Amino acid sequence: MTDTKKSIHGEWSSRSAFILAATGSAVGLGNIWKFPYITGENGGGAFVMVYLLCVALIGIPIMIAETMLGRRGRENPVHTMQVLSVEAGADNNWRYLGWLGMVAGLLILSYYSVIAGWASAYVFKAFSGSFFAADVTAIEQLFRDFIGSPMQLIFWHTLFMAATLLIVARGVGNGLEKSVRFLMPALFVLLALLLIYAMTTSGYFQGIHFLFSLDFSKLSGNAILIAMGQAFFSLGLGMGCVMVYGAYLPKDISIAKASILIAAVDTLVALLAGIIIFPIVFTHGLNPGSGPGLIFETLPIAFGTMTGGWLFGVLFFVILVFAALSSAIALIEPTVAWLVESRGMSRERACLQSGLVTWLLGFVTIFSFNVWADFKIFGLTLFDLLDYVTANLMLPIGGLAIAVFAGWKMKRQHSEQELGLPNPHYQIWQFLIKYIAPAAVFLVFLDVVGVL
Ligand code: PHE
């Protein structure tokens, strides 16, 4: 591999462009919608603690590894793995890692887009004043009526998919980079405002207590797997999207520093979302474990009662939709890059085809909230099952493979050269990626199947 090899899709224009785009891919519904509701379902503090440990010990080392593989391979995940396994003298089957990632990305996007559709619909509900002076039951009813209507969900899902594809069709520099530049600061400002609101509620300390007090008796093996899956999901790891973003990364950027920064921002946003949501939950006697509707049943109460709530409500959901968009484009990019590079398709056509498949798959999620709501496998609705299999199984398996490849297969001199880390930083990363991250993922799997 030569140092001058570049991706045919272009490169990030600067270090900040990469960090913005990678943060855009990390920060999304996973932080604001998913983190609070799964924390609520899994009992709070102890779950959060395991999540944080997973981010630090598994997430960050794997993020560094995945970015590194992408930058060295400089192509779509399938090809990158092929090129790198030749270079490392490893088995050609490593390319299936790329396949696993593409499938996981499309499956995740199929439901991600439906939920992002909910957020889009809530922009208009906020705009039309639906939350104003509404009581808790009215807000809950509003949400139930909404998800009970397949036609409405289809409409918003379609709109969101169309927006995603439009951005992706325009390519790296134009589409991906610009859409995140204003997003993060705006998101932080609104979260700060909501935080101030949450601090004035009577349930604030109860919320904080729920989020940070450690009661390990509430923690099941399955909850540990969910926490680990969430670390992968929230950082966007294990499915090749960090790998393709890495492929567009110029040589002179420190991968380790960028990864730590991105993980820190991502974690901060998730924790902020929790600190905002749970006080509202406890102030109004709601159930923290009410599931995927949690933010749609809590935040409108805040917007309906706080000063300026109308404006903040509209802005909040607009920003949430944009945050979801910048993640959605990352979910589909590995497949699009593969179709363009390996199948010789135009970017437009690649977007259209992969988008169509994803859009259709989205119907499974849509119906699982209404017409198929009673259809359950292992006690999970089809949406829950899809989410479980992708986030808790496919992403960690992908991550495990990345760790094994980067730690054991790739030549040490190559990873040293890519990362450019002084010792002992390089040695710490090596230790984490070779031993800690793979062992942790493996143990969590064993625990869930009941071996431990
Ligand atoms: N990290 C995104 C979020 O938290 C979702 C995502 C998962 C994006 C996997 C890319 C890859 O919303």
Q: Residue 425: which residues within 8 A CB-CB, separation 6 or more?
A: 256
Q: Is residue 105 part of a domain?
A: yes
Probe residue for ligand 1, chosen from 234, 235, 244, 402 as the CB with the greatest number of ligand atoms within 8 Å: 234
User: What would the mean pLDDT of 260-277 be, rounded to a whole number?
Assistant: 96
29 CB under 6 A from ligand 1?
Answer: yes
Among 42-46, 91-95, 273-277, 382-386, the minimum mean pLDDT is found in 91-95
**Residue 258 token pair:** 């960028």
**Residue 76 token pair:** 């779509």
Q: Is residue 69 part of a domain?
A: yes
Show the 3-state SS of 169-222. Answer: HCCHHHHHHHCCCCHHHHHHHHHHHHHHHHHHCCCHHHHHHHHHCCCHHHCCHH
Residue 320 has pLDDT above 60, yes or no: yes
Ligand 1 center to residue 28 CA distance, Å?
6
Q: Is residue 5 part of a domain?
A: no
Number of domains comprising the chain: 1
State the closest ligand 1 atom to the C-alpha of 235, by its place in the atom list counted from 1. 1
Q: Which amino acid is at 336?
A: V
31 CB under 6 A from ligand 1?
Answer: yes
Q: Is residue 6 part of a domain?
A: no
pTM for the whole structure? 0.94
pLDDT in tens, 212-230: 999 898 898 999 999 999 9
Ligand 1 center to residue 231 CA distance, Å?
10
> How many Cβ atoms sit within 10 Å of the Cβ of residue 422?
8
Q: Is residue 10 part of a domain?
A: no
Question: Rounded to 5 degrees, what angle do the CA atoms 215, 444, 231 make?
Answer: 75
CATH number for the domain that contains residue 51: 1.20.1740.10
Name the maximum alpha-carbon separation found in the chain: 66
Q: Is residue 269 part of a domain?
A: yes
- pLDDT value of position 8: 65
pLDDT in tens, 427-442: 999 999 999 999 999 9
**Separation of alpha carbons 50 and 65, rounded Å:** 22
State the closest ligand 1 atom to the C-alpha of 328, by its place in the atom list counted from 1. 8
- CB 239 within 8 Å of CB 108: yes
Domain ranges, residue 391: 15-448
The mean of the pLDDT values for the chain is 91
Alpha carbon 382 to its chain's center: 19
Q: Is residue 7 part of a domain?
A: no
Ligand 1 center to residue 202 CA distance, Å?
33
Ligand 1 center to residue 319 CA distance, Å?
16
- pLDDT value of position 2: 40
108 CB under 6 A from ligand 1?
Answer: yes
25 CB under 6 A from ligand 1?
Answer: yes
pLDDT in tens, 95-147: 999 999 999 999 999 999 999 999 999 999 999 999 987 889 999 999 999 99
Ligand 1 center to residue 30 CA distance, Å?
6
Ligand 1 center to residue 101 CA distance, Å?
12
At residue 424, φ and ψ (nearest 5 deg) are -90, 5
- CB 30 within 8 Å of CB 390: no
pLDDT band at 173 (very low <50, low <70, confident <90, very high): low
Q: Is residue 2 part of a domain?
A: no
322 CB under 6 A from ligand 1?
Answer: no
